[in-house]
């Protein structure tokens, strides 16, 4: 009976460990050509084969060879380079062994020495689980979205509590059957928590994309309104074109040159759409800049803008929106807090490199710096873009660079992005 109990505990611990390995690989790699269902089936196969080999032979060297080989093969279910596969395989097994060694040391220390050695697998799995949560948190911060700390800590608390309650089962000498059931339910709760955590990540990813798409749609609607208004002005001008010619001819015959210039000036003002500040021919760039410049001017800012780019770039409009919208949001927010409201925007393409320069005045008392990084002045952080961290991420996607500095009470952001065809 005791032998069956050991096997049951091993199978529970091994199943949970393989699930953690699955989550660990999801942190390292992006999804490949295989569906999620096929990946899960492959990991179930790994569990069955690994458990069978351990229970039949129980040879540590054989277990090491089987695990390293199987984990390396499983990395091929995901997209990634050979070097990344090798590093992930070694890291997973090394971390797992370190936590198991730590668990063995823990149970040898009083009063944990009351816990049987078979419990090391459960302890090491919970520690491994916590490690993967931390890794996932770090990788998420470098992505386009971030789980709020309070929610992440709530998830982090679950495996810690589970570890505590598992220890309680052993300390109070609960019958073996209840230990198996308790362990099963605790592990199941942790798996469900991880599932809910993934759902939370998906929610924030979708929210992030919805916010960006909404901002892009608003910019396109604004640009469409500009075009509609310009076409309406042109129709009106064509309708009265004959009358304008007659009027100009009469002025010319009388030598009224000043009146002609004044008349033409009024026509020019009529034709020029005051809301269209940028017209480079690149619709995504024009749309977002016109939208943001209009917002800046409504805040009382003076905007100096220069754009020299082709009508099409290899850089995705989505990432252009990420970069320009958030940099302009930061500039607009900064000028709200100062008396001298000035924004300078310069965008040009030279020799396959897109250069973006945005400069704005700011109130020095409102800008803070933490660990070498300038912090936002925004009062409502959640409703304003994704910030400089994700701007950097978007730029790095195209092997670009970004520089931030303050010169004579002006905040400057310079970015270089390779426009690779």
pLDDT digits (tens, 9 = 90+) for 343-357: 999 999 988 899 999
3-class state of residue 20 by DSSP: helix
Which pLDDT score, from 0 to 100, does residue 298 have?
A: 86
Alpha-carbon span 374 to 223, nearest angstrom: 32
Which pLDDT score, from 0 to 100, does residue 286 have?
A: 84
Alpha-carbon span 83 to 71, nearest angstrom: 14
* CATH number where 399 lies: 3.30.565.10
Which pLDDT score, from 0 to 100, does residue 385 have?
A: 38
Which pLDDT score, from 0 to 100, does residue 116 have?
A: 57
Residue 221 domain flag: no
Which pLDDT score, from 0 to 100, does residue 368 have?
A: 54
The residue that leads in pLDDT, 8 or 380, is: 8
Residues 48 and 115 both lie in one domain: yes
Residue 220 domain flag: no
Residue 118 domain flag: yes
Which pLDDT score, from 0 to 100, does residue 373 have?
A: 47
pTM of the model: 0.48
Which pLDDT score, from 0 to 100, does residue 309 have?
A: 92
Which pLDDT score, from 0 to 100, does residue 354 have?
A: 93
The residue that leads in pLDDT, 33 or 325, is: 325
Q: Residue 265 is part of which domain span?
A: 241-274
Which pLDDT score, from 0 to 100, does residue 54 have?
A: 85
Residues 6+ apart with CB under 8 A from 210: none
Q: Per-residue pLDDT for 291 more than 90?
A: no
pLDDT per residue as tens digits for the range 302-319 = 999 999 999 888 888 888
Residues 187 and 265 both lie in one domain: no
pLDDT per residue as tens digits for the range 51-106 = 999 888 888 888 889 888 999 999 988 887 787 788 888 888 888 888 877 777 76
Residues 337 and 196 both lie in one domain: no
Alpha-carbon span 414 to 403, nearest angstrom: 5
Residues 39 and 161 both lie in one domain: yes
Which pLDDT score, from 0 to 100, does residue 193 have?
A: 75
Tokens of 421: 């065809």
Q: Per-residue pLDDT for 235 more than 50?
A: yes
% of the chain residues with pLDDT over 70: 71
Which pLDDT score, from 0 to 100, does residue 343 have?
A: 95
Tokens of 416: 């270089």
pLDDT category at 119 given cuts 50, 70, 90 is: low
Residues 41 and 150 both lie in one domain: yes
Residue 46 domain flag: yes
Averaged over 140-166, what is the pLDDT?
67
C-beta separation of 405 from 420 below 8 A:
no
Residues forming a β-bridge with 243: none
Last residue of a domain, one of 228, 251, 274: 274
Residues 266 and 290 both lie in one domain: no
Averaged over 124-150, what is the pLDDT?
71
Phi (first) and psi of residue 382, to 5 degrees: -75, -25
Residues 174 and 260 both lie in one domain: no
Averaged over 240-265, what is the pLDDT?
74
Residue 217 domain flag: no
Q: Scanning the structure block, which residue is given the tokens 């078979």? A: 118
pLDDT category at 110 given cuts 50, 70, 90 is: low
How many domains in the chain?
3
Q: 61: buried, middle or exposed (CB in 10 Å: 19+, 13-18, 0-12)?
A: exposed
Q: How many of the other CB atoms lie within 10 Å of CB of 344?
A: 17
Q: Scanning the structure block, which residue is given the tokens 């310079």? A: 414
The residue that leads in pLDDT, 107 or 196, is: 196
Averaged over 232-261, what is the pLDDT?
70
pLDDT per residue as tens digits for the range 371-389 = 444 555 555 444 443 467 7
Residues 112 and 192 both lie in one domain: yes
Last residue of a domain, one of 211, 231, 260: 211
Residue 252 domain flag: yes
% of the chain residues with pLDDT over 90: 13
Residue 410 domain flag: yes
Residues 185 and 253 both lie in one domain: no
Phi (first) and psi of residue 322, to 5 degrees: -55, -50
Residues forming a β-bridge with 343: 303, 360
Residues 54 and 201 both lie in one domain: yes
Residues 281 and 269 both lie in one domain: no
Residues 6 and 135 both lie in one domain: yes
pLDDT category at 141 given cuts 50, 70, 90 is: low
Strands (E), 116-177: none
Residue 236 domain flag: no
């Amino acid at each position: 009976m005791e032998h069956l109990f050991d096997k049951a505990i091993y199978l529970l611990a091994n199943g949970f460990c393989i699930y953690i390995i699955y989550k660990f690989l999801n942190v390292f790699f992006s999804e490949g050509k295989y569906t999620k269902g096929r990946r899960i089936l492959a990991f179930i196969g790994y569990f069955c084969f690994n458990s069978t080999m351990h229970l039949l032979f129980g040879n540590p060297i054989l277990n090491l060879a089987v695990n390293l080989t199987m984990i390396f093969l499983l990395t091929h279910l995901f997209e990634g380079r050979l070097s990344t596969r090798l590093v992930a395989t070694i890291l997973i097994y090394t971390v797992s062994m370190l936590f198991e060694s730590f668990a063995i040391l823990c149970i040898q220390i009083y009063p944990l020495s009351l816990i049987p050695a078979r419990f090391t697998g459960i302890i090491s799995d919970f520690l491994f689980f916590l490690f993967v949560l931390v890794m996932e948190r770090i990788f998420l911060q470098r992505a386009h979205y971030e789980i709020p700390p309070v929610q992440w800590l709530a998830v982090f608390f679950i495996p810690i509590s589970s570890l505590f309650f598992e220890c309680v089962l052993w300390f109070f000498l609960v019958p073996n059957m209840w230990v198996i059931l308790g362990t099963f339910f605790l592990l199941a709760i942790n798996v469900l928590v991880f599932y809910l955590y993934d759902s939370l990540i998906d929610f924030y990813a979708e929210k992030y994309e919805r916010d960006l798409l909404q901002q892009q749609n608003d910019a396109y609607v604004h640009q469409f309104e500009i075009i509609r208004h310009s076409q309406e002005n042109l129709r009106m001008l064509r309708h009265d074109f004959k009358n304008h010619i007659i009027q100009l001819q009469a002025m010319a015959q009388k030598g009224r040159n000043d009146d002609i210039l004044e008349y033409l000036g009024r026509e020019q003002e009529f034709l020029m759409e005051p809301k269209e500040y940028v017209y480079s021919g690149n619709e995504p760039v024009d749309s977002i800049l016109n939208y943001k410049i209009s917002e800046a001017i409504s805040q009382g800012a003076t905007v100096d803008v220069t754009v020299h780019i082709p009508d099409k770039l290899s850089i995705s409009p989505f990432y252009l929106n990420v970069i320009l919208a958030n940099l302009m949001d930061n500039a607009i927010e900064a000028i709200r807090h100062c008396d001298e409201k000035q924004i300078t925007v310069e965008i040009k393409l030279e020799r396959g490199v897109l250069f973006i320069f945005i400069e704005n005045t700011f109130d020095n008392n409102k800008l803070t710096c933490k660990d070498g990084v300038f912090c936002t002045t925004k009062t409502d952080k959640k409703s304003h873009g994704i910030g400089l961290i994700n701007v950097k991420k978007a730029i790095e996607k195209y092997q670009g660079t970004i520089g931030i500095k303050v010169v004579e009470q002006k905040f400057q952001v310079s970015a270089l992005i390779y426009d690779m065809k």
